[in-house]
Amino acid sequence: MILIAYMTHHVVYVVGHMNPDTDSVCSAIVFAHLLNEWRKKDGLIKLDKEAVPAIQGEPNPETKFVLEKFGFDVPEILDDAEGKTLALVDFSDKSQAPKNIDKAEIVAIVDHHKIGDITTPNPILFVNLPVGCTGTVLKLLFDWTGVEITKELAGLMLASILSDTVIFKSATTTELDKKVAEELAKIAGIEDITKFGIDVKSKLSDVSGLSAREIITRDFKDFDMGGKKVGIGQIELIDLNLIKDRIDEIYEEMKKMKEEGGYAGIFLMLTDIMKEGTELLVITDYPQVVEIAFGKKLEGKSVWLEGVMSRKKQVVPPLQKAFEQV
């Protein structure tokens, strides 16, 4: 035990955000590799400790598929940061960090999100770019520093980009993501990027083993909208037909959740990646918000929203305004 406690001080844990997705897990593995290569030669930062990838929870089926395909183990779980040395990937907000993040030393951050509230007492490497994926930023760091990208690491970064940008269809996609993905596909030996993207994204489309409650809550967030409690979930599917038979069951479960949780409304986005739109399942005391928010009247249980793929950018803001009016 003493030996282990002693040893943990001699590593840098490279860790992504809570509720890990493919980008946060793969980027931890890739950045740990890059940091260790920098230890051997001149890097932008020079660590005196070995970098080890870590994860804040079980990887999802998509991530497991990607790790297996390229021959990587699932990183070890890190849930308490106290006394540890960390490098962060794919987040810079304390709310997404392991507990006791204020008692950890942070030595580097690579991210592609808004700038969060993590501060440091010393200068560190912090590279955040407004692109679609942390994998894209990491690819640039390899290019800039001349560290070789192996076939396997290229696969991880490519899968991260395809996952995060929903095969380049998300509003967050930039030209740089596409260019970097093409370069990575060459290194990884992947000829058809779109086909590989569908392979990756389809792993989260298989909901046959999940209960209705698990489907609704896999990616579910609470919001305060005009003083009302609103829950919005999202599930991304290759084809909505995969879930068609379970709509009634899911809808009944949403009703239960609404009563149990005292929600003014529960919304579930069934996003069709290939058709680039969302079937929005709705149970609410204020059905008029749908028309106010999206210009389409709710008839029955759901409404089809053409082109809507992002909860953050396309669903939360109009619903927020609508709930403030009713």
Q: Per-residue string for binding with a second copy, 54-93, x by CB under 8 A? A: ----------------------------------------
Q: For the CB of residue 39, give the shortest distance to a second copy in the complex, in Å.
A: 15
Tokens representing 154 are 């290229």
- Write down the residue that tokens 């540890």 correspond to: 84
Plot region of 307 (φ>0 → left; ψ -120 to 50 → alpha; else → beta): left
Q: For the CB of residue 228, give the shortest distance to a second copy in the complex, in Å.
A: 23
| Subset of 112-151 contacting a second copy (CB under 8 A) | 112-131, 140, 143-144
Q: Per-residue string for binding with a second copy, 16-55, x by CB under 8 A? A: --------------------------x-xx----------
Distance CA 155, CA 178 (A): 14
Q: Per-residue string for binding with a second copy, 157-196, x by CB under 8 A? A: ---------------x--xx--------------------
Nearer to a second copy, 7 or 115 (CB): 115
Selection from 31, 226, 3 nearest residue 109 by Cα: 31
Nearer to a second copy, 117 or 259 (CB): 117
Q: For the CB of residue 315, give the shortest distance to a second copy in the complex, in Å.
A: 17
Q: For the CB of residue 15, give the shortest distance to a second copy in the complex, in Å.
A: 17
Selection from 28, 26, 288, 314 nearest residue 155 by Cα: 26
Question: Are 136 and 76 in contact, with CB atoms under 8 Å apart?
Answer: no
Total number of residues binding a second copy (CB under 8 A)? 30
Question: Are 158 and 135 in contact, with CB atoms under 8 Å apart?
Answer: yes
The answer to whether 241 contacts a second copy (rule: CB under 8 A) is: no
The answer to whether 304 contacts a second copy (rule: CB under 8 A) is: no
Q: At what angle do helices 151-164 and 193-202 cross, to 10 degrees?
A: 70
Count of C-beta atoms within a 10 Å radius of residue 249: 12
